[in-house]
Structure 1
Amino acid sequence: MRPDSEDDIVISTRIRLARNFAHQAFPRKQNEESAKATSEKIASILQPKHFAYFTMEQLTPLQRLVLVEKHMISPLLAKRKFGSVLLQQDETISVMVNEEDHLRIQSLQPGLRLKEAYDAAAAIDELLEQQIDYAYDEQFGYLTACPTNTGTGLRASVMLHLPALTLTNEMKQLIQTMPRLGMVVRGIYGEGSENLGNMYQVSNQMTLGKSEADILADLQAVTEKIIAREKEAREQLLYRAATALEDRIFRSLGTLRYARTVSSEEAATCLSNVRLGINLGYIEDVAVDTINTCMMLIQRGFLQQYAGSTLHPEQRDTARAKLLREHLIERHTENNETNGEKGDDSYDV
């Protein structure tokens, strides 16, 4: 078994900065004219910097759903009639306009890269602040619609794959412990969302009373401790239940390669198990990048975009299974043929 690396456990890092215009009502109290003026102002600054601009009104429900699934916008912004988003070409930066606050500057990076993600968001923040008068108080810092964001306005988070802590029933205790450390654990889409595929977001809980550097340092330290606990839990599983763990991993791989109908929850669980199998060295003919792609494509919006049509739940389950077979059997067959083995032609791919 190969040792787990940090990036086997940390999927991504996200930095979000909440900002508001001075002397202007927050989005929940804005009228249509003010909301549109806010969007147009931000667009005038960022479009020349190679940002694409989209209003929620011009996007279809499916397009908005895909942006939510890609973590480019929040579920709340997707519902905002006068909301908009500006996306950098490589999609590492998105700026949500008229969500809960006038501005939500968001930076995404793969793996545990808090400083890199923060520096990218701060550069956009500095650019905007040169032309916008932010709502700021000398005592309280940046003023926001929700008091928990007041201060630095910084919400830093890491997305973690924690299957061993979930299997050993340690996640409940970990989630309960986090608030005492000033942190919170949420599902993959943030507040109010559920864990999917053993993926969890860990983020700072408060933004007032700490500097940006302290918030990032605290999250880095907590994340490193969670990584260590996940590695310990994996070692425990290998020591105490290696056969059961191996069986779980390969049953999941079999489901993904041969099932004809798969729900999003089952697919996510199986992909999580296979990812763990790759990390532990059980599975060598599937790449982690393939699992990452599948985790994205099995979601409701992506699946329908991939299919090119609207799908009912039963149709989505069938399409999801076919897509998974295409991504996993084809690669498996190619590897077998490369090694002088004949692929099984009895399965449609």
Structure 2
Amino acid sequence: MLFDDLLNNPAKWMVESRDEHDIVLTSRIRLARNLTATPFPGWATRQQREETLKLTSGEARQIPVMKGGYYAELSGLTQQQKQLLVERHLISRELAARSEGCAVLISRSQNASILFNEEDHLRLQYILPGIQLKKAWGAISKIDSELEARLPYAYNTRLGYITACPTNLGTGMRASVMMHLPGLVISEQMQQVVQAAAQLNITVRGLYGEGTEATGNLFQISNQSTLGDSEDQIVERMTRFTSDLAHQEWNARRRLLQSSSLQVKDRVSRAYGLLTNATLLSTQEALALLSFLRMGASLDIFSHQALKNVNKTIMNIQPAHLARLSTTDQTTPEHRDQIRADIIRKELSGN
């Protein structure tokens, strides 16, 4: 599978939504795994990382679901190619910052990906649209079991799977969902959500995870602890919290429409006006305006048809995707803002 094949055929979870109210966009399960008697990537020499990569990637590429997928060593990718994979949530920002002895393997469906020598020797992830954490866990568990049968995993009967960061000890699992929460943001309830989540050992982060902002009212929500709970318990708690939060978001949107109908409709209309007429749009402004349109569509203020490809549009207006569409080798921020505005204008007009 070639890089262009990967980019020209985005996974369904990237461009489709299973949530009728467009609240829960994706579900992801990520597992951290390491080998015995082998230094963690951050402590290993270049030669040790390359030896570990040769062993782990060779076995991973033999797993049926990963055969025929896209494989690349980070040292062979350009900075733009790395950023494209980050923007599609196929690799982490941490892996993109690395090079020698690091690689990624992505299944043909692009639901599954394996990161080699990021913080841990292996980071396995599986992504599905909507609230499907249990299904994602079942899928990645099969891949994990096949790898564990082939590789000497570092495991302790008391501490569980050994990881580079102590916070990942135990199951090594991060169960996360991407949620669109404009109703709770506008009604100033997100602080209460963050506090309630913390009491359940759940954390609320931005679009690209730890250290990033919640641009466009998009939040990544995941379990904070991995030690002391089973995988099934983590998935169940996260699924229940996500369902409850989606219900709160929907109620917040309906209350806003009931108490401030004209203001909400005006905000949605203004967002549409700017998006269909602006000649320059930054990433932050575009995502913020598209967020209002998405909310308006869920409340039947705005046509669902005009937003049928909104997830794909959001992906295509990220900086690295725009640079790929540019006809020049060097793109300035202003040029990217112009291309972004053109893409959105054409998408909303149906051209």
TM-score by length of structure 2 reads: 0.90
Asked if structure 2 preserves the Cα contact closer than 8 Å seen for 1:114 and 1:216, the reply is yes
Q: Secondary structure at the match of 2:124?
A: strand
Letter in 2 for 1:40: K
Letter in 2 for 1:31: T
Query: Which residue of structure 1 aligns with residue 55 of structure 2?
Result: 41
Count how many residue pairs are aligned between Structure 1 and Structure 2: 328
Change in CA separation of 1:190 and 1:289 when aligned onto 2, cut-off 3 Å: same
Q: CA deviation at 1:231?
A: 1.2
Query: Which residue of structure 2 aligns with residue 300 of structure 1?
Result: 319
Q: Trace 1:106-121 onto structure 2 (pairs within 5 A).
A: 106-121=125-140
Corresponding residue to 1:249 among 264, 268, 273: 268
Query: Which residue of structure 1 aligns with residue 30 of structure 2?
Result: 16
Moved more, 46-55 or 109-118: 46-55
Q: Deviations over 1:285-317 (max 9, x none)?
A: 634432111111111111111225441111111
Q: Mark the runs of 5 or more structure 1 residues left unpaired by the alignment.
A: 332-349
Change in CA separation of 1:120 and 1:289 when aligned onto 2, cut-off 3 Å: farther
Corresponding residue to 2:88 among 49, 70, 73: 70
Q: CA deviation at 1:6?
A: 5.4
Q: Mark the runs of 5 or more structure 2 residues left unpaired by the alignment.
A: 1-17
Q: Trace 1:124-273 onto structure 2 (pairs within 5 A).
A: 124-273=143-292
Identity among equivalent positions (%) equals: 40
Tell me the C-alpha RMSD between the 2 structures: 1.4
Q: CA deviation at 1:5?
A: 5.1
Change in CA separation of 1:288 and 1:37 when aligned onto 2, cut-off 3 Å: farther
Query: Which residue of structure 1 aligns with residue 76 of structure 2?
Result: 58
Asked if structure 1 preserves the Cα contact closer than 8 Å seen for 2:91 and 2:115, the reply is yes
Query: Which residue of structure 2 aligns with residue 336 of structure 1?
Result: none
Asked if structure 1 preserves the Cα contact closer than 8 Å seen for 2:106 and 2:113, the reply is yes
Query: Which residue of structure 1 aligns with residue 5 of structure 2?
Result: none
Query: Which residue of structure 2 aligns with residue 311 of structure 1?
Result: 331
Corresponding residue to 1:103 among 111, 115, 122: 122
Moved more, 55-64 or 276-285: 276-285
Q: Deviations over 1:167-226 (max 9, x none)?
A: 001112211221111100000111101101100011000000000000000001111111
TM-score by length of structure 1 reads: 0.91
CA distance in 1, matches of 2:304, 2:226: 44
Q: Secondary structure at the match of 2:150?
A: coil
Rg (Cα) greater in structure: 1
